[in-house]
Structure 1
Amino acid sequence: MNENTEIQQKYNLHTHTYRCKHADGEAVEYAAEAASAGVEMLGFSEHPPLIPNDIWTPFRIDEEDLDGYFSAIADAAAEFPQLQVLTGFEMDLYPRFKSYYEDTFLYRDEIDYLIGGVHWIQYQGEWMWIKKAETAGHLKQYVNEILGLMESGLMSFITHPDSFALGYLKWDANTEACSRDILSAAEEYRVPLEINGYGIRRPEIETPDGPRKGYPLLKFWELAAEYDVSVVCNSDAHSPKDVIGGLNGCHEIIERFNLKHHPIQQELTASFSKDTVLNR
């Protein structure tokens, strides 16, 4: 565990295992760390399968590993009954693959929630990793992808909405407009936004404005205080030792800008059922 102080919340809903190919550890190892840290609700959120299979393959679970993913989470829940263990996915959403999503995993009653997140944008007919998004046009497409996630009605929250700052390094009129568009949409659609603990744990990057975290982007969250939006905090754990990593730093941002902490734990507990996410 990399935080010694008591955490200010009792959930983490953003957790990856070895099946996504860029994390380590099995579900039961994360559950053990979460239980010892006093966590009450632990959600797993691998990046789901996607077609075509040449897009971001080294960072997604393979379709043939889905049953093992669901089984591992069920095993973790059985071993740690004091935890409410949930099954989810962190996903980009591309409308032309909707039938694939539905046929492959969205219909599964094992799924309790979905996280919306933009990692790739489609720009002028090409796929672009968000870290390469460096122009005003790229930012506009990033906003469009975020809007699609919100409009779908499927997402419990939007993860790292400020990750555009990984590629577009300076703060200017374009990044402010991008931020305000996202915040305005979150207010309209009543979708919570996530302050991401993985970004807090990562080293600072160099920008024209000086060194800063790639995300969370403090300028974004300062603007968030002007909108009627709520936020959630998650560790985005890629190793069992980080299951609560960065959470206290996330809460420091909430306190600094007087943001509203969304009651996501209570919300998911109240809505927990075996209905599929498509029918909720």
Structure 2
Amino acid sequence: MKFDLHTHHYRCGHADGNIRDYIEAGISAGLQVIGISDHTPYFGFEEDQAFPNTAMGKSQLADYVQEVLDLKKEYAGKIDVLLGIESDYFPHHAHLYKAALDSYPFDYIIGSVHFSGGYSIFDPTRWDGLSEQEKVATKSEYFRMIGESAKSGMFHILGHIDAMKSRYPEFSDIEAPEALDDMLRTIADSGVAIEVNTSGKIKLCGLWHPIDSMLERAFHFGVEISFGSDSHVPERVGDDFELVASKLREIGYTEWVYYKQKQRQVVAL
């Protein structure tokens, strides 16, 4: 059975196509389940759409939800359309996000850390001039925040947990084994899954999120795995699904999961 829980569309301002385009692409790719998971609004800002090229506006959220629910009914029997969303994790604003998202019937919520230490995780200039010790501290703080997001109880799946390497491939070479293990142990204890996110292949790093060695450690700690293409164009829906499944079997996984009506669904590998 094939599924993809991480897809975006035009409302976020940096993806192409509408929701129907991604559903049709999912059918063409042989998916039985597709999750729509555009970026949450920035609830911690007064503006309706604080960052138009990053996330939808607060006023768009209800229409987004309704459109997915309508398409879920329309495509019933052809493909199972799930209502998801990708939420940022800002500790000081977590209560705002939780209150807003609890108002809607999401099948699942992907929690992603996009900001750490005052910088976007995708900003390569944050590494300029840092000593090796400071680089370890930066990586460790990023992993700590991801672990904290797992403990928050807000999320079912954690998104792209080594996405700092997207535009700074050297991230993977920074040695922070204790921070990595602490994060993965926390995730496992929290009962939250991580996704294998194949969008990293089209970034500067050229690799899925997370890298194979992190998946091996995740298996060691009993972390559950889900799948997301993180597609921002319909053509990438389901991208590398079979390759990811093969890699997970090689590591030792026998199943992976997705969420429907916030309930864990197990799929054999």
Fold agreement, TM-score > 0.5: yes
Q: Deviations over 1:210-245 (max 9, x none)?
A: xx5273322222333322222111211111222111
Is the 8 Å Cα contact of residues 151 and 187 (structure 2) preserved in structure 1? Answer: no
Equivalent pairs counted in the alignment come to 251
Is the 8 Å Cα contact of residues 195 and 228 (structure 2) preserved in structure 1? Answer: yes
Query: Does the alignment pair 1:231 with 2:225?
Result: yes
Which residue matches 1:247?
241
Query: Secondary structure of 1:215's match?
Result: coil
Alignment CA distance shift 1:56-1:27 (3 Å):
same
Which residue matches 1:87?
83
Which residue matches 2:146?
146
Whole-angstrom distance in 1 between the partners of 2:67 and 2:143? 35
Which residue matches 1:101?
97
Q: Deviations over 1:153-175 (max 9, x none)?
A: 12111111122333361545634
TM superposition shift of 1:20: 0.8
Whole-angstrom distance in 1 between the partners of 2:195 and 2:262? 20
Query: Secondary structure of 2:199's match?
Result: helix
Query: Secondary structure of 1:237's match?
Result: coil
Is the 8 Å Cα contact of residues 163 and 214 (structure 1) preserved in structure 2? Answer: no
Instruction: Report the residue type matching 1:63 in the other structure.
Output: K
Q: Deviations over 1:78-130 (max 9, x none)?
A: 33112222222111222321343245x31323322110111111x2xx34434
Unaligned runs of 5+ residues in structure 1 are 1-8, 206-211, 273-280
Instruction: Report the residue type matching 2:194 in the other structure.
Output: L
TM superposition shift of 1:61: 1.0
In structure 2, which of residues 211, 215, 227 is the aligned counterpart of residue 217 of structure 1? 211
Is the 8 Å Cα contact of residues 37 and 86 (structure 2) preserved in structure 1? Answer: yes
Unaligned runs of 5+ residues in structure 2 are 128-134, 265-269
In structure 1, which of residues 27, 44, 49 is the aligned counterpart of residue 41 of structure 2? 49
Query: Does the alignment pair 1:186 with 2:187?
Result: yes
Is the 8 Å Cα contact of residues 198 and 207 (structure 2) preserved in structure 1? Answer: no
Instruction: Report the residue type matching 2:243 in the other structure.
Output: G
Between 1:246-255 and 1:147-156, the stretch displaced more is 246-255
Which residue matches 1:209?
none
In structure 2, which of residues 19, 22, 27 is the aligned counterpart of residue 27 of structure 1? 19
Is the 8 Å Cα contact of residues 183 and 229 (structure 1) preserved in structure 2? Answer: yes
Which residue matches 1:277?
none
Query: Does the alignment pair 1:77 with 2:77?
Result: no
Alignment CA distance shift 1:58-1:170 (3 Å):
closer
Instruction: Report the residue type matching 1:213 in the other structure.
Output: L
Whole-angstrom distance in 1 between the partners of 2:98 and 2:220? 37
Alignment RMSD (CA, Å): 2.6
Between 1:52-61 and 1:219-228, the stretch displaced more is 52-61
Whole-angstrom distance in 2 between the partners of 1:184 and 1:31? 35
Which residue matches 1:275?
none
Whole-angstrom distance in 1 between the partners of 2:197 and 2:24? 22
Between 1:231-240 and 1:164-173, the stretch displaced more is 164-173
In the superposition, the TM-score normalised over structure 2's length comes to 0.82
Whole-angstrom distance in 2 between the partners of 1:252 and 1:204? 24
Is the 8 Å Cα contact of residues 199 and 208 (structure 2) preserved in structure 1? Answer: no
Alignment CA distance shift 1:144-1:34 (3 Å):
same
Whole-angstrom distance in 1 between the partners of 2:242 and 2:160? 16
Is the 8 Å Cα contact of residues 237 and 243 (structure 1) preserved in structure 2? Answer: yes
Whole-angstrom distance in 1 between the partners of 2:211 and 2:51? 24
Query: Secondary structure of 1:225's match?
Result: helix
Which residue matches 1:12?
4
Instruction: Report the residue type matching 1:182 in the other structure.
Output: M
